[in-house]
Structure 1
Amino acid sequence: MKTFYFIILLLLSGLNSILAQDVPVNDLIISGNLEEANNKPILFANVALYSSLDSALIGGAVSDEKGNFAIPAEPGKYFLKISYLGLNEKIVPSVVVQDQAVNLGIISLNADAKQLQELLVTGEKSQMDLQLDKRVFNVGKDLSNLGSNASDILNNMPSVTVDVDGNVALRGSGNVRILIDGKQSGMVGMNPAEALRQIPGDLIESIEIITNPSSRYDAEGEVGILNIVMKKNIKYGLNGSFTATAGYPSNFGGSFNVNYRKKKVNLIASYGNIYREGPGKGTSRQVYNGADTSFVYEQVNKRTRGGYSNSFMVGMDYFVNDQNTLTGTLSYRNSQNSNNSRLEYRDFDFNNNLTRTVVRTEKETEPRNNLEAALNYSKTFEKKGQSLEFSAKYIVSDETEAAKFNQSTTEGLANLMQRSYNTEDEKNILFQLDYIYPFGKNGKLETGLKSSIRLLDNDFSVQQQNEEGNWVILPQFDNRLAYDEKIHAGYLMASNQFGKFFMQAGLRGEYSDIQTELKKTSEANHRKYFNLFPSLHLTYKLKDAQTLQLSYSYRLSRPSFRDLLPFSSFSDSRVFRLGNPLLNPEYTHSFEAGHLLNMSKGTLLSSVYYRHRLGVVENITSVDSTGFTTIRPVNLSTGDSYGFEFNLTYDPFEWWKWTANANIFRAINEGVYQDRLLKSDTYSWTSRISSRVTLFKSLDFQLSFNYRAPRKTTQGRELAQYFIDLGLSRDLLKGRATVTAGVRDLFNTRKQRQVVQNAGYYSSSEFQWRARQFLVTFSYRLNRSKDRDREDNDGDGGDEG
């Protein structure tokens, strides 16, 4: 740990020197003026300056109230990328700085897309794009993401953590909303943790982190939204990319993403296949000394989770005319997983003498199917910025978990035979309408409606074989849950610019009608409630290279299906993770202030935030008189979280790129459970540092270091976790192909360690979901080289993902 703290201290010292050195003194100036087609100036547009030699980010600025911008630069060849929320991006190529300032004059952002397609821009997407209301991470440039899945990619995002069970958390909270292409999707439906592992990373274009969403988004998600943007091309002719992956332990897969565009029709198709085996292991020690029972035992757990998954999508864009577009997509995902585990329990007396050994094995099959059909209509009007969009989606999913258990003891007793069935069927119907109307000089009015219906049916039971060899149902683990959710929403939002100020304010109303019923025991719970959710975003330009952002939102987190389900898993016969059908939503007030600094060789985004939560859901561990441990979620407490976060990109040389981020926070939770006060007050932090070096113009080497500091919980503490990833990439076939080799968790240290203490009960555990991995990936681009691919992705007429 001393070595680690020394590394962090060295990094912070280097950061101070970086900031001190990045103040431009004698640099020349690249300037210009941004206008729309109606000659209106464009305020607060992001202007990024890149080197034409290797597309390194050199600097940037934000346009002022007159649309002017100025960027300091040394003599050299550059290109500009100009972006603004609601307008198409613009590339300005061949900017040459010699011995005097360069004035580019008036630049319009609505240039002819056909002209842009003829430009050859040798730049590439930056790994992180900072926009007014979100951070966009282009995951393809991170070598540690190649050959991975969606869960792995999210774990590499700033302030995002994924635990050994696959649960995603943002800024230390698991109440985060996960969307696909900005909408709810069956791909992350009933079991998001497992579903994310089935989505090939090769089909993902970018990840958007929205920490304080505006009113146009669903109010669901306490800490914000993670939006996974899938690849989708609309380039003319036949284009595509193909990727193959091989790794150890077993990790094999392939994918393709192609499109064919001609005149008014664009056909798209993508396919991804994954086969993997994930060996995991863990140990734990449980000690309990209560009035009714006492026990001491250790558990050794070994398991292998694996199987294959297929994801297929076809779609068509039909461009009726310049103002009307109709899009239809159909996607299907099938997976066949098998999970095998071996648990060994070692019982001790209080003198630490071994009294008994129990071995429990499990063999589980887990097939899943997901079918999703979507239809989208979009219309633009003669008035610039005015648009109408309607979308509809139908999702049907089914999943069946069937497991067999065999338990034996050293006492010579007959083996205990058990089996469990858990079927989960889901249907989703969604309708959404959004309308945007511009007014005045820079104003915009947005409104919309949304309705979603979600129907889930979960039938579960556990059976045990008696002495006669007959299977008998265990009544305490036999029921059927029906979950019906209907949510109807509407929103109104307005934005405008006043000099150096940009303001966006909105109000969203949501009516929730949710009913849960345990069919076999006739236990029903019906909730109806209406809430208003305001949001406010303010932006103020301090200087040419600095912007200040303030935001507020009121949000809620409804219990997930897994949290409501009374039955979860029967794998461990002594520790049960159960749901709670009586859970209520959490409500959160979220405040955030951010500062964006564009430097000549990088960017720095700093944020401070505060969240006040009501009805916080906590997992409570308890022990009954039989010695079994139960983990169950309850609405336990109120919570306050304070945090500081920064994201830094810095390129000290054209061949060397750094990214670093950290989230430092304090979390306070306090509540009463069974007449006992439970409280936690913890300081913790997460961080990621990544360095990429380019050698010989075609060989990239990347090293990434991830760290999660220890933290306290209401019943114990979670210990520190860290791991290192390496990647090496080389371009082949004149830029049409790339081969990448990498290793994840180099020192095999990614383990979850936890301690729980509660009224005579003590538990310590360590678990590793997946061991160190070695991967090799080969990618090939059809009908375009790597440079051409960069052009299409950066131009107005390129990627529409």
Structure 2
Amino acid sequence: MGFAQDQTLKIIGRVIDAQSQQPIEYATISIVDSTTNNPVTGAVSNNEGDFNFTTIASNFYIEISFMGYNALKIKTFNIVKKTIDLSVLALTENLEALGEVVVRAEKSQTEFKLDKRVFHVGADISSTGASALEVLNNVPSVNVSIEGVISLRGSQGVQILINGKPSVLASAEGNALGTITADMIEKIEVITNPSAKYDAEGTAGIINIVIKKSEKRGLNGSATLNVGTPTSNSVGLSLNKRTEKFNLFTQMGIGKRTFPNKTKSINRDISNDTTITSSGSGDFNEKFANILLGTDYHINDYNVVTLSGSYAYEVEDQFFDATYNKMYGDNTLANSWLRAETTEATNPKLRYELQYKKDFKRHEDQDLLFSALGSSFAKDQSSVFNNTPITGTVPETQQDTRTDYKLEDYTFKLDYTHPFLEKYTLETGGQYAINNVSNDYVVRDFIDNDWLTNPNLTNQFDFDQSVLAFYGTLAYEGDIWGLKLGLRLEHTDVATLLRTTNEANSNNYTNFFPSVHTSYKLSENHSLQAGFSKRINRPRLRQLNPFNNIRNNFNIYRGNPDLMPEYTDSYELTTIHKLENLSLNFSLYHRYTTDVIENIITFQNNITTSQPENIGTSNTTGFEFNGKYTPVKWFTLSNDFNINFFKREGIFNTQTFDFKGNRWSSNMTSKFKLPSEFDLELSGNYESKFTTVQGEESNRLYADMGIRKKILKGKTILNLSIRDVFASRVDKYTSSQSNFYAFNSRKRGRFLTFGISYGFGKGEAMEFSGQRR
């Protein structure tokens, strides 16, 4: 109804279920502008279905909606004494929306941009009230497993952003992403080859979820309960409250998890014809509790401030027993002993962030974003190792270790986006990241009834790194063709210190990271994209810290404080095709990497010591295919296939490491929407064997499955998931050299989890049970 007014109107009424005549809580009553069809203001019904609010809008109509019901639009109403009394409004169930998510936007579902693809969330999918995870599952190249694990082009190394910035809502360790419902989402951007705007540190890609500015959805959330074997028990609560000025979100959870572990190893000294074998098993147990609190404060239509923080506390204990045998060449058993480990640890974690975003009136895409993020992590760990003789003359020994680990990270970032001349966009900004780590590690031996510190294995290692970055990009995007150029400057300062032995090492380097992206639209649903970017892979603490891990004291890993970063030139050519029921992506890529980091094994006295080293260069050329096919509304088939051919060249300690090889992997996922609100998901994975610098990684074949049942109009979800159905996933590595032979294998086994989730308000129940950690 359209009319002119200069007065405040009161709008009252009640929302009920047309069949049961019961009140509907948290139904949304929206005041919608008749000209633009955009929401102006609104409210939600209370527990009696009643609503009562005011508006000064004119030329509007009223829409009443709730998840699983047909929306009701009221365009004719009477105003009596400045009041619109809508009386009792009965909503009817939308049976189709309860059982499926139909993706059909009012404009093109997928837009092809210069360096990304943009998926617009249309009216049909919004009306279902589905979670953000279900929306992501409809995006080409993106797959969300039944457990909620997100992958892009088959890779799980993907960064999730909310409105272009990192957020605790997108943390992989939490469930808070599920509190974002489809009707809050405006669009989803998929970036497979990040430009100079983003960190030069490598990532498989970026998914950016853009939230609608004007959406005011009241309270939504979910409560979850998970149980599993091996132990995977947890209880969680996620809430999201949206008002006119505030968006409040919180998440709480407690739980306990067990990760079994089985290992085997063979160390054969070819020179003296002796062999050490080990076979062990044990459990890693973790108890945890966490809480997340945050708010978005909308100062006005153009300014918003976000403040959030999360705290988690973990208690770990680990038990591992391994039997060792020493044999001579004729398989004569010389010694046999049992090595038993008991480890305990506590891990407090803290994360906090402050962000400010300013939009501008002149253009919807012009914005300024400042963010300050901080986090800290500590580990207080102690271990006891007992060697008990079984046969032979090996003595009984006892060792213990203590680790006091502290980490602090800080990131300050400023980004500015400025569109101009209709088809041009300038982006610029800077970032300063600080990483401080201290690791105090002590090893003691029990000798003559006394604990004595082992000076050869004990040390305190400090690691300090700071990265200062500035970037700029300039893009032209026409209707058919576009080009984006970018340049990023990063200056890195690294300092390491072994305090016990007073060994200091410092390094600083400055690098330019250019990027070029171009795209050409063959048609509305077919596109070509090409890109180049230079990336860096900086050594992490574990790679730099030279302490010895003595869990298996015949297979030792040790860091290298002299390690330098890897640099990669990455080229990619992609064709993208979106048909009615089919989306296809074909990619050719080439990566040239210098100062490649590889673990090099040295062998002495039947002990293998693995240490990372910079070994030469790598040329990798590959082909990638991913597709998603939905021939009928109840069946979806997804496939990711990747094959690459590599050439390695390098020399270390006069030894030449030149070789060629290839590796390939494939994932096939089938999703079925069955009668009675059942969903079935089957996934098969294969990873080929491949050659490494000193050995060979074995192939891996494994399958996952899950089944989901929606009840109570989709407000409650029952979930059963099985990871590694046939317990066939085993990691094996073999190294056969002129003077030694080494073999290691590790197996985790089958994981089965059952979950129940209840969604309330406008939110839908979480669509997974027990995320991976």
Q: TM-score, normalised by structure 2?
A: 0.79
Q: 1:453 aligns with which of 434, 443, 446?
A: 434
Structure-2 residue corresponding to 1:289? 270
> Contact conserved, 1:158 with 1:688, CA < 8 A, in 2?
no
Structure 1 unaligned residues grouped into runs of 5+: 1-33, 37-50, 64-68, 70-79, 95-115, 147-152, 162-169, 171-176, 189-194, 791-801
Counterpart CA distance in 2 for 1:185 and 1:615 is: 33
Counterpart CA distance in 2 for 1:316 and 1:504 is: 35
Structure-1 residue corresponding to 2:406? 425
Question: Which structure shows the higher helix fraction?
Answer: 1
* Amino acid across the alignment from 2:306: T
CA distance 1:785–1:310, change in 2 (3 Å) = closer
* Amino acid across the alignment from 1:524: A
Equivalent runs, 1:503-514 vs 2, <5 Å: 503-514=483-494
Distance apart, 1:320 and its partner CA: 0.5
Matched, 1:781 2:751: no
> Contact conserved, 1:203 with 1:257, CA < 8 A, in 2?
no
Structure-1 residue corresponding to 2:425? 444
Q: 2:392 aligns with which of 389, 397, 411?
A: 411
CA distance 1:629–1:210, change in 2 (3 Å) = farther
Counterpart CA distance in 1 for 2:519 and 2:716 is: 42
Structure-1 residue corresponding to 2:568? 588
Deviations 1:260-309 (A, max 9, x none): 2222122110123331111121222221123xx55212110212111112
> Contact conserved, 2:592 with 2:618, CA < 8 A, in 1?
yes
> Contact conserved, 1:311 with 1:331, CA < 8 A, in 2?
yes
* Amino acid across the alignment from 2:438: D
* Amino acid across the alignment from 1:263: E
Matched, 1:129 2:139: yes
Distance apart, 1:667 and its partner CA: 2.0
Deviations 1:198-247 (A, max 9, x none): x24675789998542111111112x6456798999975322111221111
SS at match of 2:200: coil
Counterpart CA distance in 2 for 1:204 and 1:53 is: 17
Equivalent runs, 1:168-567 vs 2, <5 Å: 199-200=173-174, 210-221=191-202, 224-225=204-205, 235-290=216-271, 293-384=272-363, 385-409=365-389, 410-411=391-392, 414-467=395-448, 469-567=449-547
SS at match of 1:572: coil
* Amino acid across the alignment from 1:601: N
SS at match of 2:551: coil
Larger Rg: 2
SS at match of 2:331: coil
Distance apart, 1:577 and its partner CA: 0.5
Q: 2:728 aligns with which of 739, 743, 749?
A: 749
Counterpart CA distance in 2 for 1:356 and 1:230 is: 63
Counterpart CA distance in 2 for 1:538 and 1:122 is: 34
Matched, 1:620 2:600: yes
Structure-2 residue corresponding to 1:730? 709
Counterpart CA distance in 2 for 1:299 and 1:240 is: 49
Counterpart CA distance in 2 for 1:445 and 1:649 is: 34
Equivalent runs, 1:43-58 vs 2, <5 Å: none
CA distance 1:784–1:479, change in 2 (3 Å) = same
> Contact conserved, 2:222 with 2:764, CA < 8 A, in 1?
no
Counterpart CA distance in 1 for 2:155 and 2:473 is: 29
Equivalent runs, 1:92-131 vs 2, <5 Å: 92-93=122-123, 125=135, 127-130=137-140
CA distance 1:337–1:86, change in 2 (3 Å) = same
> Contact conserved, 1:159 with 1:686, CA < 8 A, in 2?
no
Counterpart CA distance in 2 for 1:544 and 1:429 is: 43
Moved more, 269-278 or 338-347: 269-278
CA distance 1:275–1:53, change in 2 (3 Å) = closer
Counterpart CA distance in 2 for 1:564 and 1:729 is: 44
Counterpart CA distance in 1 for 2:258 and 2:317 is: 9
Matched, 1:644 2:639: no
Counterpart CA distance in 1 for 2:482 and 2:559 is: 44
> Contact conserved, 1:611 with 1:641, CA < 8 A, in 2?
yes
> Contact conserved, 2:597 with 2:612, CA < 8 A, in 1?
yes
Structure-2 residue corresponding to 1:793? none
Counterpart CA distance in 2 for 1:477 and 1:208 is: 49
Counterpart CA distance in 2 for 1:82 and 1:209 is: 10
Structure-1 residue corresponding to 2:74? none
Counterpart CA distance in 2 for 1:761 and 1:235 is: 67
CA distance 1:581–1:208, change in 2 (3 Å) = farther
The RMSD of aligned alpha carbons is 3.3
Distance apart, 1:741 and its partner CA: 1.2
Structure-2 residue corresponding to 1:66? none
> Contact conserved, 2:636 with 2:670, CA < 8 A, in 1?
yes
Distance apart, 1:252 and its partner CA: 0.6
Deviations 1:689-732 (A, max 9, x none): 11111121511111110111111111111111011111111111
* Amino acid across the alignment from 1:623: F
Distance apart, 1:178 and its partner CA: 6.1
SS at match of 1:160: coil
* Amino acid across the alignment from 1:459: D
Distance apart, 1:589 and its partner CA: 0.4
Deviations 1:747-778 (A, max 9, x none): 1101111211122211223210x221211111
Among all aligned residue pairs of Structure 1 and Structure 2, give the percentage whose two residues are the same amino acid: 27
Counterpart CA distance in 1 for 2:396 and 2:496 is: 37
SS at match of 1:734: coil
SS at match of 1:320: strand
Structure 2 unaligned residues grouped into runs of 5+: 1-35, 39-95, 181-187, 768-773
Deviations 1:349-390 (A, max 9, x none): 111111111211100112111111210000001111211111
CA distance 1:186–1:216, change in 2 (3 Å) = same
SS at match of 1:563: helix
CA distance 1:363–1:180, change in 2 (3 Å) = farther
CA distance 1:205–1:489, change in 2 (3 Å) = farther
Counterpart CA distance in 1 for 2:489 and 2:121 is: 39
Q: TM-score, normalised by structure 1?
A: 0.77
> Contact conserved, 2:101 with 2:128, CA < 8 A, in 1?
no
* Amino acid across the alignment from 1:435: Y
Structure-2 residue corresponding to 1:10? none
SS at match of 2:139: strand
Structure-2 residue corresponding to 1:689? 668
> Contact conserved, 2:179 with 2:239, CA < 8 A, in 1?
no
CA distance 1:538–1:568, change in 2 (3 Å) = farther
Counterpart CA distance in 2 for 1:230 and 1:357 is: 61
Counterpart CA distance in 2 for 1:763 and 1:472 is: 32
CA distance 1:459–1:781, change in 2 (3 Å) = same
Counterpart CA distance in 2 for 1:497 and 1:535 is: 16
SS at match of 2:543: helix
SS at match of 1:514: strand
Larger relative contact order, structure 1 or 2 (CA cutoff 8 Å, min sep 6): 1
